[in-house]
């Protein structure tokens, strides 16, 4: 199965994060290595607009797809990059019935996570499988905070309950996306035939800030 690793050169939250050294290794290196160890991945493409990222990806054994400038802006949709890579693959290599997307900002996901997500995808004949992790606090406690610091409701849930009385909720951790190609062409991530691959917190860090980066470094240092 084709694995696409999207890695823009620009990042506002943490500049140059995809190539920033994490425990002695460029951040993107962890994702490429996990993909290479996966039993389900047969081809790895790093989509980037950045020369340094492309050089590192090549060193780690990935194929590089240089994306056009209109797909490298802050406003560009990630899904358009996936579709572009799929079209390029169809034109120059072969058509893929399904793909895996692995964000380079999730260095703690393992090859086993990738394999198990793909096995779930196949066993369910799914449109998509997306990795999720458990939310620690009830989403009904969330509020908007206005410019004058007043609260505004996000949800129409006003009943006060203890945390344990709420049904568990989960959020996407960014680590793994598995898509049926024809479904992805509809520019959707979810359907009634989409399923969650659940991952623990200690493998669910998605790096966007320096605090996320330091948390990932902590987990790597203390991995057993």
Digit-by-digit pLDDT tens for the chain (224 residues) are 999 999 988 777 788 999 999 999 999 999 999 999 999 999 999 999 999 999 999 999 999 999 998 998 888 899 999 999 999 999 999 999 999 999 999 999 999 999 999 999 999 999 999 999 999 888 888 889 999 999 998 887 666 677 677 789 999 999 999 999 999 999 999 999 999 999 999 999 999 999 999 999 999 998 75
Phi, psi of 173 (to 5 degrees): -100, 0
- Give the CATH fold of the 2-134+169-221 domain: Spore Coat Polysaccharide Biosynthesis Protein SpsA; Chain A (3.90.550)
Do residues 63 and 32 touch, judged by C-beta distance below 8 A?
no
Contact indicator for 130, 196 with CB cutoff of 8 Å: yes
- Alpha-carbon distance of 95 to 209, in angstroms, equals 36
> pTM for the whole thing?
0.92
Q: Could you identify the residue written with the tokens 């895996």?
A: 100
Domain boundary assignment for the chain? 2-134+169-221
């Amino acid at each position: 199965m084709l694995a696409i690793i999207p890695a823009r050169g620009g990042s506002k939250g943490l500049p140059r994060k995809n190539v920033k050294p994490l425990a002695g290794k460029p951040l993107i290196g962890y994702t490429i290595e996990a993909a290479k160890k996966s039993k389900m991945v047969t081809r790895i493409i790093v989509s980037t607009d950045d020369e340094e990222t492309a050089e590192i990806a090549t060193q780690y054994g990935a194929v590089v797809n240089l994306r056009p400038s209109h797909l490298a802006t802050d406003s560009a949709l990630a899904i358009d990059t996936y579709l572009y890579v799929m079209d390029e693959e169809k034109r120059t290599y072969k058509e893929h019935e399904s793909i895996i997307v692995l964000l380079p900002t999730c260095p703690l996901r393992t090859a086993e996570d990738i394999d198990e997500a793909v096995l779930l995808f196949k066993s369910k004949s799914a449109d998509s499988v997306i990795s999720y992790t458990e939310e620690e606090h009830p989403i009904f406690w969330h509020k908007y905070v206005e410019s004058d610091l007043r609260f505004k409701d996000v949800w129409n849930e006003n009943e006060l309950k203890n945390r344990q009385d709420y049904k568990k909720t989960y959020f996407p951790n960014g680590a793994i996306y598995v898509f049926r190609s024809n479904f992805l062409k509809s520019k959707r991530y979810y359907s009634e035939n989409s399923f969650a691959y659940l991952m623990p917190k200690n493998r669910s860090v998605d790096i966007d800030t320096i605090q996320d980066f330091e948390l990932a470094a902590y987990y790597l240092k203390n991995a057993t």
